[in-house]
Amino acid sequence: MPYYSFDLVIGEEYKDQGGLILENLELAAGRADQLAIELSIVRPELKSKGCAVRVVGADSTEVYRTPLDPIP
């Protein structure tokens, strides 16, 4: 099973939020969406800054990104 890393993206800065071994990208994307919701609740000031959560695959490339303040 692949390993995915999760980062909080603030401008050009990436803050490591940990990683998980998950079955597929769909599950990793779901976890990123949940993390974005949790971060927007805990740190609401990040929503107005255009922050996001990104998922990085085992080969160190970004495979998914979700904003903390999604466009309706």
Q: What is the signed CA dihedral for 52, 58, 63, 69, rounded to 10 degrees?
A: -20
When divided into structural domains, the chain yields a total of 1
Is residue 4 within 8 Å of 22, Cβ to Cβ?
yes
Q: Phi and psi at residue 55, in whole multiples of 5°?
A: -115, 130
pLDDT digits (tens, 9 = 90+) for 5-47: 999 999 999 999 999 999 999 999 999 999 999 999 999 999 8
* 35 in a structural domain: yes
Q: How confident is the model at residue 71 (pLDDT cuts 50, 70, 90)?
A: low
For residue 40, give its domain range.
Answer: 3-67
* 72 in a structural domain: no
Using the CB atoms, write b or e for 5-33: b if 16+ within 10 Å.
bbbbbeeeeeeeeeeeebeeeeebbebbe
